[in-house]
Structure 1
Amino acid sequence: MEKLKHVISARQFKDPEFLLWLFESAHQMERDDVFRALTDPLRGRILATLFFEPSTRTRFSFEAAMQKLGGGVLTAENARANSSATKGETISDTIRVVSGYADAIAIRHYEPGTAEAAARISPVPIINAGDGVGEHPTQALADMYTIKKELGRLSGLRVALVGDLLNGRTIHSLLPLLSLYPGVTIDLISPWQLRLPLAYREYLMEKGVAFHEGEKLEGVIEEADVAYITRVQSERFASKDEYDVVKDVYVINAEIADRLKPDAIIMHALPRVNEISPEVDANARAAYFRQAKNGLYIRMALLKYLLA
């Protein structure tokens, strides 16, 4: 695959062999981290994290990844309120300025398409760390890496995607990566108000991926190799009343978790609210905290790929 300059969409990753290489690189990063054998391939390099929406895992994992590789970090945690954006500065001007200080920019923004617009004018790599209800490609890479580590394969899977499929940018990025592998079947489980947008359903049809839509977990969760649970995103609703109608439609408790196959896994990009009960955390199928840590190593591998 031709080397990428920017990471804007999961659809840029079209080669399973490249993904395998990236996952092996992430695994090597993890081994080196455990044995305190990490080198400093990015010494002297700087990553700027521009986050116009809240983040814990994504921002911290990017910053930790850069520092573990020997680089430095410039951070704007709440750039919507604590940057020159409050004075009316355009995102184009912000990118032009920050690219003079940093060797790469990870940006999270509330408007879909912002990362793509930034990449068009940036002389340094832009990494999409989430653009509204658009995409979150590095999370999808971490998700696929997690599935590979946990189950040992990426083909022949039955994957249940549960919850807010309308607004879930993690789901929007995960689908193109799942579509690269043969024998994958996807169950789309959501309230009708939060069903997967038509453009993504058409993409799955174009790629020949088998998928089914429904509103009930029964009969689906028992067959899943991966149950990927998503948060109903309160910040995307026009009113609290609309959110309250759907917020607790799916709650994975201990009883439901035990209905999964013994070797199945439960995933969630976090943060969770009510959709996975804390009692599930002790279940061996609960992979979401391991998933969060995997995000560190996949971002280390990606930063080294882009900058070393």
Structure 2
Amino acid sequence: MAVQADLNHAMSQTASGPELDSARVGVIGGSGLYSINNLESVREVQTDTPFGKPSDALRVGTLNGIEVVFLARHGRQHHLLPSEVPYLANIWAMRSLGVRWLISVSAVGSLREHLRPRDMVVPHQFIDRTRQRPQSFFGDGCVAHISLADPFCPTLCDWLATSAAAAIPTGHHLHRGGTYLCMEGPAFSTRAESELYRSWGCDVIGMTNHTEARLAREAEIAYASLSMVTDFDCWHDDHDAVTVEMVVGNLKANATATGPILEQLMGNFSKERPESPAHRALEHALMTAPEAVPSATRERLDLFTSPYWGNVQPSTGRDLP
């Protein structure tokens, strides 16, 4: 019953105004972050979605007065490869629980000398090199085209970076902006690939965030990443000296450092809820007239498309130019 109440609440929300006051903030924890220790009044939500089961149970609780939904991306036992993460189910489940802002906490490798292990980056751009991931909630009789020019929500990135700057512990440094190269994995880059990505202007490399950001935008969720550097990618002379113990130590230190940052962010949310263009991403994105959409497809999509079916012009039978 609690899950259905959450779903009814989520579907009744519009994209702005007082409705956002009751929306939740989501946190997806990557390698090293499998829970939020200071989350209070926690309940676990086991849910199914039209796209299968999420990576793990979602944990709903309160952090600094704000309702937060937490999910371990790879499962709490870290049993899912980056290519095996059920991205569609994870994002759909977040939206069904009323999440309209989503923070990814992720481990990354550095492609730049000044981005050192244990530094934190709030990137603004992506290059996608994945090959085995779902790219969209749409298809199966319904077409939509979202804008992904700014794949991370600029508003939420600013809020996250400001909060991180105010709360980051000693020994860590924050960097605003940069480009995240999203690779398929699970193997890391070759040296030639690493140098290629550097020549493209990329700053950090990971295996998950672009897929989440793309789907979050379709679900009208503002998305930002706290990318935590664990080591240099293989382009760097020090790479061969990196040990598993060093990487694990950096993972643990970075995960510990996220606690005060998330508390600071939620404290800022308690004063004001930032509206985002992402909250209206589908307003003019739908291309298929509702009468042409198969009922099963429409049922899967109604969680975030229901306010906009009236915006679609009836089908003319002509291709757009």
Q: Provide TM-score, normalisation by structure 2.
A: 0.31
The answer to which structure, 1 or 2, has the higher relative contact order (CA under 8 A, 6+ apart) is: 2
More helix by share: 1
More strand by share: 2
